[in-house]
Amino acid sequence: MLAFLVQRISQAVLVMFVISVIAFAIQDGLGDPLQEMVGMSVSMEEREAIREELGLNDSMVVQYLRFAGNAVQGDLGNSYFYGKPTLEVIFEHLPATLELVIGASLIIMLLSVPIGVYAAIRPQALLAKFFMGVSTVGISIPVFLTAIVLIQIYSIGVTVEWFPVDTGWGQWLNGALSTDGGMPSYGRGDDLTHLFGTWHSGFFSEIGLMHLVLPCVSLASIMLPLFIRLIRAEMMEVLQSDYIRYARAKGLSAVRINFLHALKNTMLPVITVGGVQVGVMVAYTILTETVFQWPGVGLMFLEAITRSDIPLIVAYLMVVGLIFVITNTLVDLVYGLVNPTVKLTGKKA
């Protein structure tokens, strides 16, 4: 266990070192941070003075060494735009993103397992076919489109007048297809509960929860079909295996077989994929946060790029790298719990 953790920590350090080098190497391509800091009519001379002050005129190596020197002491520099330490800025924005990811993950877990298992046990059922059809559509619609459609239907509302309004059934159909809207379409609302540090949560008030619904559903929509299909496929395979047949022959109840013996083995690859998908999720939060003006790290990062806020970009990439390493470590630990035959450091059992 200790050897495993030491190995992972050294991996994390290496990952962050590589990320910081890459981020520094591409910063020239990101544009000139000064453009966002000064007005158009500021003279070249003044610009040069500010550039000098920021140390932007030094060579890349000098800039990197200065950065690395501070980074070793836990100081990742100051954001140009926020005028504050980058880590502080990131930790202010991180809770919003984490809540989005938690909300979306809850939706995914609560829906994908029952639907996936059901579709595996009754592959021929009409409902199962319906779920699989919907999930194919879901996986092929980009997340921002889902978000825009959700906003149109549930925030703005739609009035349908396809059917004749002078007939009773027409009115009923029109009414049934029209929506009033009213769901919040942006931000986190103004009723957040302070938990600790920089964490203000939207999970504890009605307004906060209402604001979470559409972004979480949008984010979940892209991942949910994947998990449904994965669980279904794995489960079907497991159901074919010998030990399930023996269990059946032994006369165990279907519930016990399906949900205890089969599901446990089904979840192994799902956990692995889930760990990898957290990274994909981080990428999709950028899109979701942009559409919903969700004040998380994704939106912050995107804006940092348009502003060429290089210190913030570098710090964000390093933090995300760290998150990747941590989630993968956690996945490996959980894996060991689910399947005791797996050994962490790859040594012989």
Q: Which residues bind another protein (CB under 8 A)?
A: 29-33, 35-46, 49-50, 53-54, 78, 80-84, 92, 148, 151-152, 155-157, 181-187, 190, 290-293, 295, 299-300, 303, 305-308
Token look-up 């906060």 returns: 208
Q: Whose Cβ is closer to another protein: residue 229's or residue 307's?
A: 307
Q: How far is the CB of 279 from another protein (least distance, A)?
A: 24
The contacts of residue 206 (CB under 8 Å, 6+ apart) are 191
Q: Whose Cβ is closer to another protein: residue 42's or residue 326's?
A: 42
Q: How far is the CB of 12 from another protein (least distance, A)?
A: 29
Q: How far is the CB of 155 from another protein (least distance, A)?
A: 4
Q: Whose Cβ is closer to another protein: residue 166's or residue 190's?
A: 190
Q: How far is the CB of 327 from another protein (least distance, A)?
A: 26
For the CA atoms of 129, 132, 136, 139, the dihedral, rounded to the nearest 10 degrees, stands at 160
Q: The tokens of 226 are what? A: 């994947």
φ, ψ for residue 306 (rounded to 5)?
Answer: -65, -25
Packed helices 206-240 and 143-150: angle between N→C axes, nearest 10 degrees: 130
Spatial contact of 111 and 314, defined as CB atoms under 8 Å apart: no
Q: What CA–CA distance (Å, rounded) separates 150 from 183?
A: 10
Q: How far apart are the two ends of the chain, measured CA to CA in Å?
A: 13
Q: Please choose, from the candidates 95, 75, 320, 85, the residue with its C-alpha nearest in 3D space to the C-alpha of residue 197.
A: 95
Q: How far is the CB of 129 from another protein (least distance, A)?
A: 34
Q: How far is the CB of 105 from another protein (least distance, A)?
A: 24
Q: How far is the CB of 25 from another protein (least distance, A)?
A: 16
In sequence order, the β-bridge partners of residue 194 are: 200
Q: How far is the CB of 209 from another protein (least distance, A)?
A: 16
Q: Whose Cβ is closer to another protein: residue 32's or residue 130's?
A: 32
Q: Whose Cβ is closer to another protein: residue 119's or residue 147's?
A: 147
- Give the Å distances, CA to CA, from 213 to 10, 253, 263, 264: 39, 38, 29, 30
Q: Whose Cβ is closer to another protein: residue 120's or residue 212's?
A: 212
75: left (phi over 0), alpha (psi -120 to 50) or beta: beta
Q: Whose Cβ is closer to another protein: residue 258's or residue 285's?
A: 285
Q: What CA–CA distance (Å, rounded) separates 154 from 213?
A: 10
DSSP output for 110-125: HHHHHHHHHHHH-TTS
Q: Whose Cβ is closer to another protein: residue 171's or residue 290's?
A: 290
